[in-house]
Amino acid sequence: MYKVEADARRDDLDVHALQQQRTRHSKPVLEQIEALALRHLHGVLPGSLLGKALHYLTAQWPTLVRYADDGRYPIVSVRRTHLELRLRGDNDPVQLTNSWTRWIRRIVVSAGATAQS
């Protein structure tokens, strides 16, 4: 997903073109992450690191999906920038933080190791 964003910045894509790239490239990745999370959600202890990560991911899933559905939203949170203020004016802010990214990485790495064993 970060490659899509980097390529979009490099190519100076507008919001519409970025949305098309996210639909083409990021949504399939999100679908794989969601399937992996749902497959392992009830097979791990809720208090374990993986359990906490999976519960956090599923609780926050609508936010992540919204990022992928709108080219105006950044992939990570933007603090007090013009874009964030405009998004707040739309009464629909989406903030994907660096901690969110860390949780996703933990889920993918942990679930992948669990699936292989």
14 assigned to some structural domain: no
> Has residue 105 been placed in a domain?
yes
- Residue 57 within any structural domain of the chain: yes
pLDDT of residue 111: 59
The owner of tokens 């405009």 is: 86
Is position 62 within any domain? yes
- Specify the residue for token string 């399939």: 28
pLDDT by residue (tens digit) across 69-117?
Answer: 888 888 765 444 445 545 555 443 344 445 556 666 666 666 565 545 4
Asked whether residue 16 is assigned to any structural domain, the reply reads no
pTM: predicted TM-score of the whole model, two decimal places: 0.62
Could you tell me if residue 58 is inside a domain? Answer: yes
| Residue 75, domain extent | 27-116
Please tell me the total count of domains within the chain: 1
Q: Please state, for a pLDDT cut of 70, what percent of the chain lies above it.
A: 64
Inside any domain, residue 22: no
If we measure between CA atoms, which residue out of 55, 52, 57, 33 comes closest to residue 112? Answer: 33
CA distances for 63 relative to 75, 86, 92, angstroms: 11, 17, 10
In a domain, 69, yes or no: yes
pLDDT for 100 equals 57
